[in-house]
Amino acid sequence: MSIKGYKCPSCGGNLVFNSDTQKLQCPSCGNEIEMDEIQKYAEVVESADEQEDTYEGDEGSQESPKEWEVKEVDGKIIYTCPACGGEVDADQTTAATKCPYCDSPLILPGQVSGEFRPDLIIPFQLDDKDAKEAYQKFCKGKRLLPKMFQSDQRLKEIKGIYVPFWLYSCKVEGTMTLDAQKKKTWSDGDYEYTQTDFYLLTRDGEVYFEHVPVDGSVEMDDSYMESIEPFEIDQAVPFQEGYLSGYEAMKYDQAKDECWDRAEKRIDKTFGGILYDSVETYKYSSVSSRGFTASYSNKTVKYALLPVWVLNVKYKDKMYHFAMNGQTGKMAGILPVDWKLFWKYTLGIFAGSSLIIYILMLIFLL
Amino acid sequence: MKKIRFVAALLCLFLVNVMPVSADDAASPPKVVDHANLLRDTEEAELTEKINSMIEKFQIDVVLYTESRKHGADIQNEADLLFDNNGYGIGDTKDGVLFLLSMQEREWAISTHGKAIDMFSDYALNKMGQKAAEKYFSKGHYSNGFNSFLDTLDRTADNHMKSIEQAKDNNAGIAEQGTNEANEANEANEANEADEANGSADIEVSEEKDQPQDSSTTDKVEQNQEEQDQEKEDEEDEKTPVDYIIPALICGLIITLIIMRKMKKKLKAVKSQDDADVYKSKDIGAKIYKNDEFLTSKITKTRLEKHEPKSSGGGTTHTSSNGEKHGGASGKF
């Protein structure tokens, strides 16, 4: 498996993607390089390396740059960091990661090429500091949250991950039929008359949907990924490996056909709602749906890597997971409840509100 | 001749003085009979005093009767028999009202007799009984319940008397008008013509007399009575601070549940999306084609339930097992 790491042309340090400048940056010398430039630079270096390999008999005459070593132990692929010798686990879906000891970036181009090459990528717009801030803000004002939960020591892990998503676009055409009734009542003194008029309502429509996202990774929790939607897809750029440097990335392990059902359900719900909302319900005394059909055409699917910050917080031997949209900062997660505080508040509010209401009753009703 | 006139005057005076006293006669049966021991002595005395003043005012007997055991299958019949067999009622027609409260099956019944049948409509009796039963007896407030019954009875009887007097005045006015017209005709025409005019006036008067009491007046009287009842109820509804404790606790509990639920919900920010609203194309709008087709029409008719007319001419009657004619109402609490 080929391995890639972008090196600084000035000092040879590992370049990582900087979300603030949207450029690759060398942490050692601070050198910043545009994404297009580093791509060209990398291509030249790669071709020069290939040419060097064709020389014979000069092996070992020049000091070759240190590379990641790969070995397989018990079916697991383990990469050894060339900088610190640390070992990095990578599973079948890992497309990029970094050394947990020295942060040296590791990109596996084989995982993002061919059928696994993403069409689009939304580069990280927010960094780990933003993620921490968003997490602190998310915890603020939660009265039932245990006080100790917010301490920094609880935050065990924070990592930026490019999560694989399928983006579905299509045209939906369909028909909804509805039964409707109008009722009119009058009386002549002895009898009450009710006239019921029956109607058959038909609504035909067509609606275009663009880039409905469905997470293509089994590992990522779908409800978390849907909670941090929407992503601003119009800010997505064509995929380049350089964006992965310094972050983790995954390749999809759920095919686009498998994920379509989820997108279809969401599209159907919205389309059905549009058709139903077009009925002037105020004209009728009752309206009920009889049936609904939808067909899809002009379907296109794009494979995209979208930025997600994942935060893992340990509290009382339990891990709490949070996800943040790496583009918009929207946070998702479930915070624990401090049950002592819960009952304290319950009793306090109950006593307080009952007393206030009692006093108000005495003032205004007695 | 003078002696005869003097004796007649004395007789008249005697009758005038004796009549009211006969209602309060010590030999007459007690007006408050509390076999079920629901009332204190002081309460019984108060109720008796109130009843005596009503007897004087309306010349009808009023009896409150409680029992812990029922003596017959039909509570209405039992109330009728209690009235018939215990010598209640004033005058030859034995005018009176008896309110029976039976604790065995928690039932009540009102029995009316004589002119009381005409004084109180079924609607009024039912309302009096239900109000006392539901509002007071069901909560164990027996004295208040009887007081409420007597107050409503008093107002209803009073209104009845007033409406009768008003009807009499109206009739008298019409009769007077008719006579005046006849006199004018007498002056203007010859003796024969005057006779004819008199004849026509008589016909007009008799027509007016045959007409039933003015229904709008009766309605107004009943409406006023209901309003007064409502006011009285509001006054009686006065509550003590203790009565507000449970409602305040319930409100507090509801508020607490709402607030705590909101606070707990804030801790969870994970929600699956079930629609794709935000992914509708912004460039190409939705196209909708509408078609509303009329299919058929159906008309159904339902007979309207008619409310019993509010009549001031008294309620319906039945015959007790003694063969006496009674009016009345009954119910449970």
pLDDT, residue B118, reads: 86
Question: Does residue B296 register a pLDDT over 60?
Answer: yes
Per-residue pLDDT band for B252 (boundaries 50, 70, 90) equals: very high
**Rounded mean pLDDT, B85-108:** 89
pLDDT in tens, B193-229: 444 444 443 433 334 344 444 444 555 555 666 666 6
Per-residue pLDDT band for B236 (boundaries 50, 70, 90) equals: low
Distance, CA of A335 to CA of B265 (rounded, Å): 10
A window 342-361, beta carbon within 8 A of B = 342, 345-346, 349-355, 357-358, 361
Positive or negative torsion for Cα B269, B272, B276, B277:
negative
**Using CA atoms in the order A232, A234, A240, A245, what is the torsion angle rounded to 10 degrees?**
-20
**Interchain pair B288, A203: CB under 8 A:** yes
**Interchain pair A350, B303: CB under 8 A:** no
pLDDT, residue A177, reads: 96
Q: Which of the pair, B187 or B158, is modelled with greater confidence?
A: B158
pLDDT, residue A30, reads: 83
Instruction: Please tell me the pTM assigned to this model.
Output: 0.61
Give me the residues of chain A with pLDDT under 70, please: 1-4, 45-67, 152-153
Closest CA to A94 of A110, A70, A82, A71: A110
Question: Does residue B311 register a pLDDT over 90?
Answer: no
Domain ranges of chain A: 16-52+64-134, 147-335, 339-366
Distance from CA of B258 to the nearest CA of A (A): 10
pLDDT, residue B229, reads: 63
Q: Is B302 on the interface with A (CB under 8 A)?
A: yes
**Rounded mean pLDDT, B62-71:** 88
Q: Which of the pair, B50 or B25, is modelled with greater confidence?
A: B50
pLDDT in tens, B158-172: 888 888 888 777 777
Q: Is A209 on the interface with B (CB under 8 A)?
A: yes
A window 271-330, beta carbon within 8 A of B = 273-275, 278-279
* B269-to-A25, A150, A225, A323 alpha-carbon distances in Å: 34, 16, 12, 10
**Rounded mean pLDDT, B41-59:** 90
Q: Which of the pair, A281 or B5, is modelled with greater confidence?
A: A281
Instruction: Give the DSSP H or E segment for A320.
Output: strand A318-325
pLDDT, residue A57, reads: 41
* A10-to-A106, A233, A242 alpha-carbon distances in Å: 20, 35, 17
SS3 for chain B, per residue? CHHHHHHHHHHHHHHHHHHHHHHCCCCCCCCEEECCCCCCHHHHHHHHHHHHHHHHHHCCEEEEEEECCCCCCCHHHHHHHHHHHCCCCECCCCEEEEEEEECCCCEEEEEEECHHHHHCCHHHHHHHHHHHHHHCHHHCCHHHHHHHHHHHHHHHHHHHHHHHHHHHHHHHHHHHHHHHHHHHHHHHCCHHHHHHHHHHHHHHHHHHHHCCCCHHHHHHHHHHHHHHHHHHHHHHCCCCHHHHHHHHHHHHHHHHHHHHHHHHHCCECCCCCCCCHHHECCCCCCEEEEEEEEEEEEEEEEECCCCCCCCCCCCCEEECCCCCEEEEEEEEC
Distance from CA of B219 to the nearest CA of A (A): 20
pLDDT in tens, B224-235: 666 666 666 666
Q: Which of the pair, B100 or B230, is modelled with greater confidence?
A: B100
Distance, CA of A27 to CA of A102 (rounded, Å): 12
ipTM of the complex model: 0.82
pLDDT, residue B121, reads: 86
**Interchain pair B304, A199: CB under 8 A:** no
Q: Kindly list the strands in the beta sheet with B96-102, ordered across the sheet, starting from the edge strand earlier in the chain.
A: B32-34, B61-67, B96-102, B107-113, B325-332, B317-319
pLDDT, residue B19, reads: 45
**Interchain pair B267, A205: CB under 8 A:** no
pLDDT, residue B16, reads: 41
What integer best gives the mean pLDDT of chain B?
77
Domains delineated in chain B = 30-150+315-332 (3.10.310.50)
**Interchain pair A191, B301: CB under 8 A:** yes
Per-residue pLDDT band for B254 (boundaries 50, 70, 90) equals: very high
